[in-house]
C-alpha cells in the first residue's frame, strides 16, 4: 500500500525570528504541535529557548530528537525543550524537532533568522551650547525624533519598508506606513519617560524587525559661566555659589535643554535679579549680565535668573548664586 503523505500547516511568524512550519513525514492522523520561542525576537547570538506543546499527544512519553542545521545535537524521552544560540544577523539556523509519535514521526522545523534594528533618537528643539560633548536631552513638551535603522544584508533600503509605530504601547496610525522610518512626537510632561516601539516589515514579509526604546525626560537647568573679553566663554568650570569677583565681570547664563534651540528667541523671557531687584538689560544677548564693583566695596549679593518659555509653561527654570566682592 502506498503511504499517503500530507502536509500539516502550522506556521507561526515572529517579528524577528522567522518562520516555523510542521511537516508530517509518515502517514498519521492530524496532530497539532505548538511551538513557543523565548525570546520571540532574539538578537544575533542570543540564547533562544524552543518549547513544544500538544493538546492531542502526550509529548512526555515519546522520543524527541533535536537537530541543528542537519546535525543531531540532543534527544530524549519527553525532551520538549531545546536551547540554541541565534546566528549572526543576516544568517539563519534551521532547528528540527523529530517527534516519534505512535502513529508515525513528525518533524517540526524552526528557521531562526535574527536581524537587528537600531533606534536612534534626538530632541529636535533642545538647546545645548557649542562644543557640548553630551547629548541634547528632551525637556517637558519637547519634540523628539526617533529613527529606525534596520540592518539587513541585502539590497533592501529602510525607506522601502513598512513601519508600524507605537507610543506608550498605543498604535500611532498617522505616524505609521510605508517608508515612514522615523517618528515624531511631543513628550508628555506628566510622564518621566515614553516607550517608543516599531515593527518594520518588507513588502514580501521575508524580513520583519521590531525594536523599542524608553526615552526619558529632564528638567531644563541653568549654569553660569565667566565670559572673558579676550577668551570668550570659560567653559572649563561653571560658577559655583559664593563666586568671588574683583572690579568687573560678565556672567553668561547657559540654559541646558530648554526650547527653542535659538535661545534669543522672544518666546523666552529672561529675568535677572540682584538681591530680588529686577535688572533691565538693554543688550540683545539676554544671557549676559555685566557685574561691577565700586573700589573699596565689600560684601555679598544674590544673583538670580528666571527663564520662562511663553509657549511651553513647563519649561520654566531658575538659577541663583551668591556673588562675593
C-alpha cell at 17: 525570528
Q: How confident is the model at residue 153 (pLDDT cuts 50, 70, 90)?
A: low
C-alpha cell at 213: 526604546
CA 117 – CA 164 distance, rounded (Å): 13
Do 221-324 and 12-112 have the same topology in CATH? Answer: yes
pLDDT, tens digit, 9 for 90 and up, residues 242-266: 999 888 899 999 999 999 989 999 9
Checking if the pLDDT of 275 tops 50, the result is yes
Cα diameter, the chain: 117
Q: Which fold has domain 12-112?
A: Immunoglobulin-like (2.60.40)
Query: According to the model, what pLDDT value does residue 293 have?
Result: 84
Question: Range with the lowest mean pLDDT among 11-25, 62-76, 109-123?
Answer: 11-25
Mean pLDDT across 39-44: 76
Mean pLDDT across 284-297: 87
Alpha helices by DSSP H, listed for the chain, are none
CB atoms within 10 A of CB 222: 19
Q: Which residue has the cell 520538549?
A: 80
Going across the sheet that includes 243-244, the strands are: 243-244, 317-324, 300-309, 268-274, 277-279
Q: Which fold has domain 116-216?
A: Immunoglobulin-like (2.60.40)
C-alpha cell at 166: 507605537
Contact 15, 200 (CB under 8 A): no
C-alpha cell at 127: 538647546
pLDDT, tens digit, 9 for 90 and up, residues 170-207: 999 999 999 999 999 998 888 889 999 999 988 887 77
Q: Where are the domains of the chain?
A: 12-112, 116-216, 221-324
Contact 38, 125 (CB under 8 A): no
Query: According to the model, what pLDDT value does residue 9 have?
Result: 29
Mean pLDDT of the chain: 85
Contact 256, 235 (CB under 8 A): no
CATH of domain 221-324: 2.60.40
Mean pLDDT across 104-118: 85
Amino acid at each position: 500500500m502506498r503511504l499517503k503523505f500530507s502536509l500539516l500547516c502550522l506556521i507561526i511568524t515572529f517579528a524577528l525570528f522567522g518562520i516555523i512550519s510542521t511537516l508530517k513525514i509518515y502517514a498519521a492522523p492530524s496532530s497539532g504541535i505548538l511551538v513557543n520561542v523565548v525570546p520571540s525576537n532574539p538578537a544575533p547570538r542570543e540564547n533562544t529557548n524552543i518549547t513544544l506543546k500538544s493538546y492531542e499527544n502526550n509529548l512526555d512519553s515519546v522520543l524527541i530528537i533535536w537537530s541543528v542545521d542537519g546535525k543531531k545535537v540532543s534527544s530524549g524521552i519527553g525532551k520538549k525543550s531545546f536551547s540554541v544560540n541565534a546566528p549572526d544577523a543576516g544568517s539563519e539556523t534551521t532547528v528540527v524537532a523529530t517527534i516519534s509519535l505512535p502513529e508515525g514521526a513528525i518533524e517540526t522545523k524552526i528557521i531562526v533568522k535574527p536581524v537587528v534594528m537600531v533606534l536612534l533618537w534626538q530632541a529636535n528643539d533642545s538647546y545645548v551650547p557649542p562644543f557640548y560633548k553630551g547629548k541634547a536631552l528632551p525637556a517637558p513638551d519637547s519634540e523628539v525624533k526617533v529613527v529606525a535603522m534596520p540592518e539587513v544584508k541585502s539590497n533592501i533600503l529602510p525607506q522601502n519598508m513598512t513601519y508600524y509605530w507605537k507610543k506608550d504601547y498605543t498604535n500611532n496610525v498617522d505616524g505609521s506606513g510605508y517608508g515612514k522610518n522615523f517618528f515624531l512626537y511631543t513628550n508628555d510632561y506628566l510622564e518621566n519617560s515614553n516607550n517608543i516601539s516599531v515593527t518594520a516589515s518588507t513588502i514580501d514579509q521575508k524580513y520583519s524587525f521590531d525594536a523599542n526604546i524608553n526615552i526619558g525626560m529632564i528638567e531644563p537647568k541653568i549654569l553660569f559661566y565667566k565670559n572673558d573679553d579676550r577668551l570668550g566663554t570659560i567653559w572649563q568650570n561653571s560658577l559655583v555659589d559664593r563666586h568671588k569677583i574683583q572690579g568687573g565681570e560678565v556672567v553668561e547664563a547657559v540654559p541646558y535643554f530648554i526650547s527653542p534651540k535659538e535661545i534669543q528667541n522672544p518666546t523666552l523671557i529672561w529675568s535677572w535679579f540682584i538681591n530680588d531687584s529686577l535688572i533691565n538689560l538693554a543688550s540683545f544677548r539676554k544671557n549676559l549680565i555685566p557685574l561691577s564693583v565700586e573700589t573699596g566695596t565689600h560684601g555679598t549679593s544674590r544673583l538670580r535668573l528666571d527663564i520662562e518659555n511663553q509657549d511651553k509653561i513647563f519649561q520654566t527654570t531658575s538659577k541663583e548664586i551668591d556673588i562675593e566682592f
